[in-house]
Structure 1
Amino acid sequence: MSTAKVNGDAKSWPFPNPQVVREEYLPKLAIKPWVSEYPADRILKNCQVVDPASGKLLQGLKSVTISEGKIQSITDSDSTQSTSNVIDLEGAYLCPGLIDGHVHITATPGVKTMLEVVKLPEQVTSLRATYVLKEMLARGFTTVRDTGGASKVIANALAEGLLQGPRLVQCGKALSQTGGHADFSSAVSGGNQTGCCGGHSEALGRVCDGVPQVLKAVREELKAGADFIKIMMGGGVSSEADPIDMIQFTEEEVQAITKTCTRMGNKLTTAHAYTPEAIRHAVENGVRCIEHGNFLDVPTAKMMAEKGIFLTPTLACYGIMARKPFEDFLSENGKPKNLEVMKQGLQALQIAEEAGVTVCYGSDLLVSMHALQTEEFSVRSQVLDSPTVLRQATTNAAKLCQQEGKIGVIAPGAYADLIVLRSNPLEDITILDHPEDHLLAVIKDGRVATSQIKGL
């Protein structure tokens, strides 16, 4: 038995000798024993490296060296020396890990309707979210941006390896006015009951009204570790009391939020907004990102492009919520709103791209719909070419997450967040919607999450 010396006098000690500790126990005696060392350096050779920013493959077969969770170098494969840590990808395509810019990891499977989602106890939600995260990583998403519901606690658990899943960028709870998109409290006249049908109302967001309340809310979310702040600025599909064209929060409330975000770490503020009026209300008061934007018009898109405003459309979710087995997920009030926004989504996506808006990938799926996370690629491919859609799920989304050069790219110094593909996504982006046929391996932070490749 190998041992390690520790201080202490063992002569009169009635228990096992305190001067020796079995070395195999030492890692588990650490303060955070789940934090593991990086795997040994490895080289992925004979791969075709996908560069989403240029929309091209790097010329020739490449070798990518991974060290301590990051990409160390990219060289020509014919110059790679043979060692035990070299894995031959045999011409497969090496792509940056995918980034989903709009998820709700706490809207978990286990229930059938939106009303049931907001009634779940927080601890149940958090435990079920671990399943959602693991599945997202297995689909090739190595980073996700949660826009209401997740927390820094979950993000830290992922970063430390306590949970398996993507990197998590999160806003804590989204901010909603009373009667806004994240207000799921009971709609009883004159009442202030907490929770929908007896449940709690803060599954995805929190309600705040007036400048003092919004200041407290945004400060609390930033103090708790939010990477950005989300504001509900217009009506929504899944909320009962607000029509789609409703404008939410006053100018003073929005400015209080955006100025606080700037002063407390220069954090981005994003807005749930469908209509041009809601988008302009957000941007004119300091918001720098827009979620959805299904009714976007040309003048508003040009304004967004000029001001460098991000747009994260979420298109596949509407069709998913309108078909089996999710046709009863929304209330009777929500179903017509869902069809209304679904009709305009692809046109808005085209308008945004043509205007030069920085468009990002987002799925916005809930409950068991998460399994269809990659369907967004197929939907967008109806109006956009493959390189453009891939850029939205890598290069653009990395900028949105304020991690440009670290994620969404294969380059020295970037995180080793990679997927290995059987086919070229630049030629056909819809292969990403069929990971069972085309996804050979997922690597996050230099660690292999899933693999069908021998030796990897």
Structure 2
Amino acid sequence: MSADKVNDWPFPNPQVVRAEYLPKLAIKPWVSAHPADKVLKNCKVVDAASGKLLDGLKSITISKGKIVSVENSNDNETGSNVVDVKGAFVCPGLIDCHVHITATPGVKTMLELVKLPDQLTSLRSTYVLKEMLARGFTTVRDTGGATKIIANALDEGLLEGPRLFQCGKALSQTGGHADFQAAVSGGNQVGCCGGHSESIGRVCDGVPQVLKAVREELKAGADFIKIMMGGGVSSEADPIDMIQFTDEEVQAITKSCDHMGNKISTAHAYTPGAIRHAIKNGVKAIEHGNFLDVPTAKLMAENGTFLTPTLACYGIMARKPFEDFLSEVGRPKNLEVMEKGLEALKIAEEAGITVCYGSDLLVSMHALQTEEFTVRSQVLDSPTILRQATTNAAKLLKHEGKLGVIAPGAYGDIIILKSNPLEDITVLDRPEDNLLAVIKEGRTSMTKIEGL
């Protein structure tokens, strides 16, 4: 049909579009502009790096999603974009470096979890993400299950939740920590009904398969690579002290990470043997490390190897209503690692390892994400634990100066608290009482403060 004929139609002029429709005609209509500039005044600013409050009350200006200034407050500051927080404690947004957003609520046991179809899991993960942000976690690092697709949806504003760093699927050998296929004779077995048994990880054996797996995950946009290098609690075929993958397999992974964007690799490892196996073959970070000893901690510190312990999860899985979540094989392993975790955390800090915050919770346990603060407070002081959930985590994510700090140039990721977390870190484990507001990139997602 010619343009002249179109213009003859008895409809509104097709060349004119009402202004209110224009944003929704964009290719991605859910992408919104940066929120209006904000000025938070009369803030007691928590400097997580030093473990102290900044001197005096401060005004924080956020523009286009980033902090542009932190200056002494002026009582004469007024305007529709100025919010008086009245001496509340303003802290960098929290960072959880070990989550599994696809291990969603909706089931009671590990067996049910691994059978969920991918599409249902993706939909349910939107609930998990929204709740994490509401607890003050403005950034999370998913160590098996999330994808770049979900991360992009969060960046674009299609989903509400924290900023997401992800590794795609963790890499596991056959019989390793992410192999949830039935232990039957006869070779490869397909999970029931095309189920979800490889949602958190994927199985690969031998250098060719390992190379293909790591390259596919990096091609798909993984920010880092997770390697299952030791036995685990939730998997049935591998005892805790098992060492997984050969030197050649691990080196194939770590060299690919170096060659394809200088990406960090991290290892699921509980024992000194598994940790040393990882470090020797080029792995840069360790998850869990519950049986860490002094010589191995020294080796980690010398190599600049990061550690993300996950301690609260074991106690949570041992008590109601989650006492039946693990299988009969997993329950004793859970108690075994729970017993040693706090001692390992103390050893790591004394050795000078860069320790990060991690929760590692599954299903409805996600609601207890902040309990890790209380558990760690049994052996560490509050400023140390806050650094683990802010500046240390930013180093692991290669986002120093952008995350974990309240300073010019950083993302406008802020939580506002009734109480000082430097004096008592457990206030973060009671967000319903102490969390007044959550701001991510200048956009308020939760607030109890008038005008914010």
Alignment TM-score, normalising by the size of structure 1: 0.97
Which residue pairs with 2:108 in the alignment? 112
Distance 1:189 1:65 in 2: 63
User: Is 1:315 matched up with 2:290?
Assistant: no
The letter for the 2-side match of 1:116 is E
Distance 2:4 2:151 in 1: 40
Q: Secondary structure at the match of 1:256?
A: helix
1:23 to 8, 13, 19: 19
Which residue pairs with 1:289 in the alignment? 285
Tell whether the 8 Å contact from 1:194 to 1:200 is kept in structure 2 after alignment. no
Distance 1:281 1:425 in 2: 37
Task: Provide, for residues 223-278 of structure 1, a one-character-per-residue CA deviation record: whole Å limited to 9, x for no partner.
Answer: 00000000000000000100000000000000000000000000000000000000
Which residue pairs with 2:28 in the alignment? 32
Q: Secondary structure at the match of 1:78?
A: coil
Distance 1:81 1:275 in 2: 56
Distance 2:30 2:193 in 1: 40
Which residue pairs with 2:74 in the alignment? 78
Equivalent runs, 1:50-449 vs 2, <5 Å? 50-78=46-74, 81-195=77-191, 199-449=195-445
Tell whether the 8 Å contact from 2:118 to 2:196 is kept in structure 1 after alignment. no
Q: CA RMSD, aligned part only?
A: 1.3
Tell whether the 8 Å contact from 2:99 to 2:142 is kept in structure 1 after alignment. yes
The letter for the 2-side match of 1:234 is G
Unpaired runs of at least 5, structure 1:
1-6
The letter for the 2-side match of 1:406 is K
Q: Secondary structure at the match of 1:218?
A: helix
Q: Secondary structure at the match of 1:133?
A: helix
Distance 1:101 1:80 in 2: 40
Q: Secondary structure at the match of 2:70?
A: strand
Distance 2:130 2:4 in 1: 44
Q: Secondary structure at the match of 1:419?
A: strand
The letter for the 1-side match of 2:59 is S
Distance 1:418 1:8 in 2: 55
**CA displacement at 1:16 relative to structure 2:** 2.5
Query: Matched residue pairs, number?
Result: 450
Distance 2:73 2:216 in 1: 51
Tell whether the 8 Å contact from 1:94 to 1:420 is kept in structure 2 after alignment. yes
Tell whether the 8 Å contact from 1:418 to 1:443 is kept in structure 2 after alignment. yes
Deviating beyond 3 angstroms after TM superposition, the runs of 4 or more aligned structure 1 residues are 7-11, 196-200
Alignment TM-score, normalising by the size of structure 2: 0.98
Task: Provide, for residues 201-243 of structure 1, a one-character-per-residue CA deviation record: whole Å limited to 9, x for no partner.
Answer: 2110000000000000000000000000000000000001000
Distance 2:195 2:77 in 1: 61
Percent sequence identity is 81
Q: Secondary structure at the match of 1:359?
A: coil
Q: Secondary structure at the match of 1:448?
A: strand
Question: In structure 2, do the counterparts of structure 1 residues 254 and 11 end up closer, same or farther at CA, with 3 Å as the change threshold?
Answer: closer
Distance 2:4 2:138 in 1: 47
Which residue pairs with 1:13 in the alignment? 9
The letter for the 2-side match of 1:78 is N
- Between 75-84 and 145-154, the greater mean CA deviation after superposition: 75-84
Distance 2:329 2:193 in 1: 16
**CA displacement at 1:171 relative to structure 2:** 0.1
Distance 1:281 1:76 in 2: 50
